[in-house]
Structure 1
Amino acid sequence: MTRIMTRLMHRSLLLLALVLPLGAGAARANEPRPPSVTVATASRGEVRDLVIVTGSFVAREEVLISPEVEGLSIVEILVEEGDQVAAGQVLARLNRAMLDVQLAQNAAQIARAEASIAQSNASIAEATANKSLTDQQLQRTRQLQTTGVASNDQLDQRLSASRAANARLDAAHHALRLGEADLTLARAQREDIALRIARSEIRTPVGGVVSRRTARVGAVAAAVGDPLFRIISEGAVELEGDIAETTLAKLKPGQKAAIDAAGWDRQLAGSVRLVAPEVNRANRLGRVRIALDGTDRPPLGSFGRGLVEVARSEGVLVPLSAVMFAQGAVSVQVVKDGLVETRTVVPGLRADNRIEIRQGLQAGEQVVAVSGSFVRNGDRVTPIALAAR
């Protein structure tokens, strides 16, 4: 009887030992699964901070060329739009026939003035001789009058003749000065005519490329109105664009840029040349100019986009959406062994929807891909890796 009772107790304990583990496993199977969250793996890489400048291509310095002499018609045009020109090159010629006539008339005026001067010099020589003779006669008459040989009438005649000789000499000198003045005027007029003749050839003061020509053969040149030619000085073309004032401070002259031009199948190299010192008060935009390197010249006025690299760094990168910015603090939610840890970090550069983490996170750690996804510090989650892009 005792043996039978002992066997029954052993069987009961064995059945209990088998039932208890099955019950615990069923209980764990009924426990709810932690919520799933998408995580991204922090990785090391390079990030560049790029500023986009969009605008149009313009000439760095556009020289406007208009005629410097008016009233003459255009008889010849020597360049076309797109031509390369050198400083001093003739672009067009004006009709100078009227100026040639004026030059011939001026030559006659100069010859006349020179002849008048020669005649005045001869008159001065004659008047000087006459004056010397009358002065001598007057002196002898005065000596004779003291001895009673010459009368007062003779003295008056000699005195009158001396005064007339002095007047003729003064008149000759005045005629000489008048002739010299006429000669000076005629020579000045000659210089003016020569200058107008020189300006009948319209020249460019700088070398470059002809961007526009409005000159037409037969048209009368005028200094007012549209210029006859527009020259891109030295052929230098730039991309001009406006950017927000918050971004303007990042740009500095000399920064390298990659430029996409409308119609071009390759990027053009350039660098920031000018950052405007003021911002438009109406739209809060600042002006930037990017100079092109090399000899490539997109058409003026065409659209362009420049990518200016303002900073570059290499470090730990995570998606920008994984970072929380709240009350001056920056943090990420790190997932380790299924537990969420909110960790404060130090951010760096941002670009292409990625952000550099300079402190607080190591490469290889997983972070919640979308910060603030209804998980908090200490929550247990089921991580799901973010699909690679």
Structure 2
Amino acid sequence: MAAPRPPSISVVDAKTGEIVERVDVTGTLTPRQTVSVGADVDGLRVVSLAADEGDRVEKGQVLATLETDFVDTNIALNAAQIERAKASIAQAQAQIADAEAAAKQAQAALDRSRPLVQKGIIGQNEMDQRVAAADSAAARLNSARQGLAVSRADLAAQEAQRDQWLLKKAKTVIRAPTAGLILSRTATLGAIVSSASGSLFEIARDGLIELDAKVSETMLGRLSEGQTVAVYVAGRTKPVEGDVRLIAPQVDQTTRLGTVKIALPKNAEGLRAGNFARGVVEVARSTGVLVPRSAVVFEGDDAAVQVVKDGVVERRVVDLGLTTADQVEIVKGVAQGESVVAVAGAFVRNGDTVTPVQIAASKVSR
């Protein structure tokens, strides 16, 4: 009577190939930096809008304008006050000229009188009168000079007021402080704005959008700044190529997730803040002996496979290299072309006799 045939077992050949280890990340597209644009004046009405959500703007581009009637009226009033101040200065300067002439004349008369008093030609009373006249002329000159100083101070104040009104008028034109993409607009025609009313526009600085992704703490160590990332965005058929810009230094203690910022190309089409996106980061690439991941069994600190040679199962401890969801790189322990049990531990043990059934690695049930 013939001996029973050994049980069949699925095996795959270890093959040399390239393996790429990747880390998947998911998150939301966000602006790298948001700039709020508000009004720096109070109580003025919006009279025109020159930009809307989704528009790309340049630095200094007009976004909206406010009414200027009130400001223009005050600028005109201030201009009249400046002219009056200038006229006061001219008048004060003329008064100084007259006072200087009078003071000079009175002082000269006083100087001529001093030797005449000593000679007895004029009396003391007349001398006292000339002293008083010189003092009075000097006082009038000093008063005129003070008047000029006051007029000049008034002119300076009016000119400062003019500068303030001109600045306020300039602020009635609301401009983009930076180039970028308008994310939102709350400004509406006819609305009265104030410096405390919040932003009128939100701009993504330079139009830069990035992926704010969350990554398991166990995978953070596999990432580094500058790594290339293929980012898949909802609504796009092709991925966008980005790169890891920043890896947060902290992990959320509740979720055990870390944050990774992935920079995306400027002005890439179809990227909208708030979109869900998935990123795939290539962290390592190698060429070596590959077997299905299901062919590896872990026992304590050891990894092992079951090699089938001449119909006999042999358990071998192996050293692993890169690992993916489907494949494992065998650094040591299995050679190219050797057959291994496709699903480790599948009812066979070391030394068992089996009938190997060759299958493709792609057919292995995972």
User: What is the TM-score of this pair, normalised by structure 1?
Assistant: 0.88
Which of 301, 306, 325 is 1:352 aligned to?
325
Which of 182, 205, 222 is 1:250 aligned to?
222
Counterpart of 2:44 in 1: which secondary structure?
A: coil
Aligned to 2:111: 139
Query: Do the aligned residues in 1 keep the contact of 2:208 with 2:265 (CA within 8 Å)?
Result: no
Which of 328, 333, 337 is 1:364 aligned to?
337
Aligned to 1:276: 248
Q: Does 1:336 align with 2:325?
A: no
Larger Rg: 1
Q: How far off is 1:350 after superposition?
A: 0.9
Deviant stretches of 4+, over 4 Å? none
Percent identical pairs in the alignment equals: 45
Which of 323, 339, 349 is 1:376 aligned to?
349
Q: Which structure has greater helix proportion?
A: 1
Q: How many pairs align?
A: 361
Query: Do the aligned residues in 2 keep the contact of 1:340 with 1:378 (CA within 8 Å)?
Result: yes
Q: How far off is 1:133 after superposition?
A: 1.2
Q: Does 1:180 align with 2:152?
A: yes
1:45-64 superposed matches below 5 A: 45-64=17-36
Aligned to 2:271: 298
Query: In structure 1, what residue type is equivalent to 2:244?
Result: V
Q: How far off is 1:33 after superposition?
A: 4.4
Q: Does 1:196 align with 2:168?
A: yes
> For the residues of structure 1 that align with 2:53 and 2:60, how far apart are their CA atoms?
17
Aligned to 1:18: none
Q: Deviations over 1:33-87 (max 9, x none)?
A: 4444332321222211111111111112222111121211100001122222221
1:54-203 superposed matches below 5 A: 54-203=26-175
For residues 37 and 225 of structure 1, do their structure 2 counterparts lie closer, same or farther at Cα, with a shift above 3 Å needed? farther
Query: Do the aligned residues in 1 keep the contact of 2:223 with 2:283 (CA within 8 Å)?
Result: yes
> For the residues of structure 2 that align with 1:346 and 1:226, how far apart are their CA atoms?
61
Q: CA RMSD in A?
A: 1.8
Which of 215, 227, 250 is 2:199 aligned to?
227
Q: Deviations over 1:292-344 (max 9, x none)?
A: 23622422101111111111112211122222333322221211111122222
Segments of structure 1 that go 5 or more residues without pairing to the other structure are 1-25
Query: Do the aligned residues in 2 keep the contact of 1:242 with 1:286 (CA within 8 Å)?
Result: yes
> For the residues of structure 2 that align with 1:247 and 1:191, how far apart are their CA atoms?
59
Q: How far off is 1:203 after superposition?
A: 0.3
Query: In structure 2, what residue type is equivalent to 1:229?
Result: F
Counterpart of 1:258 in 2: which secondary structure?
A: strand
> For the residues of structure 1 that align with 2:197 and 2:210, how far apart are their CA atoms?
26
User: What is the TM-score of this pair, normalised by structure 2?
Assistant: 0.93
Query: In structure 2, what residue type is equivalent to 1:316?
Result: V
